[in-house]
Amino acid sequence: MRANSRYLLLVLSTFFMLSGVQAQKNSYSPYSRFGIGDITKEGFGRNQGMGGIGYGLRESNHINYMNPAAAAAVDTMSFIFSTGVAGNTMQLRGSEGTHNVSNITLSHLAIGFPVSRIWKTNIGLVPYSQMGYKIIDVDLAEQSEHYYEGSGGINQFFLGNAIRITDNLSAGINLSYMFGALNQSRDLMFPGSERTFSVRSKSRAIVGDFHLRYGLQYSGRIMEDYRFTLGVIYENKTPLNTDQDWLIINELTTEIGQARDTVHNYVATSSTIELPARYGAGFSFGRENKFLVGADYTIQQWSDVSFLDQQRDSLVNSSSFSVGAQYTPDYTDFRSIWRRIHYRLGFHYTDTYLRLRGHQLTDYGVTIGMGIPYGNTRSTFNFSVDIGKRGTREFNLIQENYVMFNVSLSLHDFWFHRRRYE
């Protein structure tokens, strides 16, 4: 099979697989009830192994959509395909005891290739937020039961373009189409009373709109062998067009049957969900195929946004800090696979966008990972583990102790390169 045909089949299979991503339930956190759900950690396996850094990372054989300008580092004849799976196991600890949950899902699909000598492109699909919870709240004094349930999330299909302005400076932009559905229901029931109406409320917000991220990177050398990269990104505040369905029903159960009364029924009501402005900066420093260190800092202004035309008092501005490192003993030693492996370590800390009962939730963890090269190629298998904690048991809240893992494959080949045989 010719090389061009193989690449075409690879691209087609990638986008056939896209349809299965949004159908998977990938969150079981009670905190995903607020806002647009859990905000997914950015980056692929290489990023996740180093604490999630990416704004200042620049490498020719990996896709880094975190900074759109990073795509300019791709070689002129390179073709990169990346996919992976992510999962987690989580222990929820509250005043009523503990509960364990786990899941696994497709984490991303992406391709990267050159358009010209100075223009490079990335295309991919990643989750942006995830919603999945089921909560029961019993009020003994009022003899009532509250049931809360949610599912869905927002996905991000991105088209990234980067240009090399000079040998050291590159700029890029990610045009993303944000789509998905947020499904939520709330039931108020009075099981001890036969003459009191129960209230059932269901809502669905269907999102579909465009979003932009801008990026810059400046890269240079120090003493020939050492390279540094500085990167910045920016996203403006963006309203996403949303169609909302909303149904409220009063229900009375008696000995002779049920009586229902539809109080409100709105179908496809136009509204918006706003994404906040985001500012990010990062750097990396290292020696090629030997070591690398880096750090990122991000701010998002969630206190300024509204959801479905309503302000959410539980949302506050968030900030995060990540630091990571990578070490390779000897990338040229083909006698020992262990000396060619990229060993990774990182740490991340986030003041999340949730403030509950007067307390802003924090999320922090330690990451470890490795990149295993495939033979004498630039393709790699990437593994990472993130061990962390979110929330607290104080203030009658819930503490989440989690272990997240990411397994990804980054395939690198040369586009339109004809192999010659003697």
Q: Kindly report, residue by residue over 76-106, the tens digit of the pLDDT.
A: 888 999 999 999 999 998 877 788 888 888 8
pLDDT average, residue stretch 273-279: 94
135 pLDDT more than 90: no
Q: Map out the domains of the chain with their CATH numbers.
A: 3-414 (2.40.160.60)
pLDDT at 236 over 90: yes
pLDDT tops 50 at residue 20: no
- Alpha carbons 202 and 196: distance in angstroms, whole number: 20
Give the per-residue pLDDT at 14.
47
pLDDT of residue 289: 85
Q: Which of 258, 270, 272 is nearest to 305 (CA)?
A: 272
- Asked if 306 and 275 touch (Cβ cutoff 8 Å), the reply is no
Name the pLDDT band for 267 (thresholds 50, 70, 90). Answer: low
Highest mean pLDDT pick, 63-77, 89-103, 182-196, 263-277: 63-77
pLDDT in the model for residue 265: 67
pLDDT of residue 189: 75
| Residue closest to 326 by CA, chosen among 369, 297, 283, 378 | 369
More confident residue, 375 or 190: 375
**Tell me, what's the pLDDT at 7?**
47
Give the residue from 84, 128, 86 showing the smallest Cα distance to 110.
84
Full-model pTM: 0.87
**Terminal CA-CA length for the chain:** 19
Residue 123 in contact with residue 158, Cβ under 8 Å? yes
Collapsing DSSP to helix, strand or coil, 344 comes out as: strand
More confident residue, 315 or 22: 315
Q: What's the pLDDT at 382? A: 95
pLDDT at 318: 96
pLDDT bucket at 201, cuts 50 / 70 / 90: confident
Confidence class for position 27, pLDDT limits 50, 70, 90? low
Query: Any residues with CB less than 8 A from the CB of 310 and at least 6 apart, and which?
Result: none
Supply 307's token pair.
Answer: 């959801």
pLDDT tens, position by position, 302-355: 988 888 766 666 889 999 999 999 999 988 887 888 889 999 999 999 999 999
